[in-house]
Structure 1
């Protein structure tokens, strides 16, 4: 499959944004160890979870000793977007065997979803879609895991004075802004930001859950009030 032109195209389109993904992965790797996780637990979390936003959301909860239900609820809410991604990808990959679909689900990522839907917005399966998907997610996975592992292994040698936390925020903002492609997503993102700031004083980082709930509610409201034309992502 790696020789297919669509595989190369998928990788090439992800290459332009791989630097931001790598910066975020490095910061997350360092943050996991700095939060108190052992190297082996951090490596396990990086490879098994493979969801940077939920990892970063869970780390301060782990460090503060938050109840397990808060940890699970936060990770669940942060990753709810993958339900939407999977429902959309079902139109393209729903006919594949279960094991193949499970592997596709593991490697799924936000920006791969955006690139894929721009390439095939019509919602019909085609033979060249799998090579394109695997080309994009392969590069995305490597761009995340290699810096993340490096951050985990070198965390104790990275001084906090380097300001990697702020670099991670910038990388996360860049990735988030690339997902805001229409009025609905921009309004939902703005509502989430305002809600997170307004609820910042809540304990156990519950302002994250408040922001997610506000964004989902606003998105559903706008979806109902301003439905999109059929065939658009």
Structure 2
């Protein structure tokens, strides 16, 4: 009498693509960790308690939004300004989500929500570099989770350390400048084509020109200018794929 065998799916972390995704992200974790450490310290230095800072780090998990919101919180800006700033800073994830949907749109809602929480800029770049053609495949999910696990750990561990040790870090160390350097390093890695460079240049000019606006509203102006220029560039000068 025979027994019917049922194939049990192997855990994602055992898949070769999981390791590959983690290794692809490992090369840039130093900049991510530096950014996370600076953000953790900045949250406490801006007046947030340790508990709220930890909650913000784990729930929000968006360094650029956290850094943009901190001066607004410290200055007592209205809540609508805080929400609008965070929304505009994270508008790029709408574009990311449209692309992720082509690969993971067939998955259950709960799984897509988990994917959405862990999604990050550099994971998006690494994923599209690994899978430039929109052809869903089973090995893409292990690759994705390998990358985001590395990215999430590289961010959260230094961020938590920064939150817990913030009171022991002297203000004169210039952590704000270190944070700018970390952000510049990460931003440079995302500037892969002409359209991105032009949009970044327009955003920089807009931020400087609108610097005198209150409540750091020059950030919103810069984001709006970058999005508008990015859309204009994509329509006027679409990137052509090279056919071998």
TM-score normalised to structure 2 length: 0.93
Cα distance in 2, alignment partners of residues 190 and 107 from structure 1: 29
- The answer for the alignment partner of 1:140 in structure 2 is 151
User: Which shows bigger deviation, 124-133 or 157-166?
Assistant: 157-166
Cα distance in 2, alignment partners of residues 221 and 148 from structure 1: 37
- The answer for the alignment partner of 1:163 in structure 2 is 174
Instruction: Indicate the SS of the match to 1:154.
Output: helix
Cα distance in 2, alignment partners of residues 162 and 68 from structure 1: 31
Report whether the alignment pairs 1:51 with 2:52.
no
In the TM superposition, what is the alpha-carbon distance from 1:227 to its structure 2 partner?
1.9
- The answer for the alignment partner of 2:5 in structure 1 is none
Report whether the alignment pairs 1:223 with 2:229.
no
Structure 2: stretches of 5+ with no match in the other structure: 1-11
In the TM superposition, what is the alpha-carbon distance from 1:228 to its structure 2 partner?
2.7
Indicate if the aligned counterparts of 1:111 and 1:179 stay in contact, CA closer than 8 A. Answer: yes
Report whether the alignment pairs 1:123 with 2:134.
yes
Structure 1: stretches of 5+ with no match in the other structure: none
Cα distance in 2, alignment partners of residues 220 and 131 from structure 1: 32
C-alpha offsets along residues 150-172 of structure 1, whole Å, 9 cap, x if unaligned?
A: 00000000011222211111010
In the TM superposition, what is the alpha-carbon distance from 1:231 to its structure 2 partner?
9.8
Instruction: Give the counterpart of 1:186 among 169, 194, 197.
Output: 197
Structure with max Cα Rg: 2
Instruction: Indicate the SS of the match to 1:204.
Output: helix
C-alpha offsets along residues 177-206 of structure 1, whole Å, 9 cap, x if unaligned?
A: 100100000000011011101111100000
Instruction: Indicate the SS of the match to 2:32.
Output: helix
Structure-to-structure mapping, 1:27-42, within 5 angstroms: 27-42=38-53
Cα distance in 2, alignment partners of residues 15 and 231 from structure 1: 28
Instruction: Indicate the SS of the match to 2:217.
Output: helix
In the TM superposition, what is the alpha-carbon distance from 1:230 to its structure 2 partner?
6.6
- The answer for the alignment partner of 1:109 in structure 2 is 120
TM-score normalised to structure 1 length: 0.98
- The answer for the alignment partner of 2:28 in structure 1 is 17
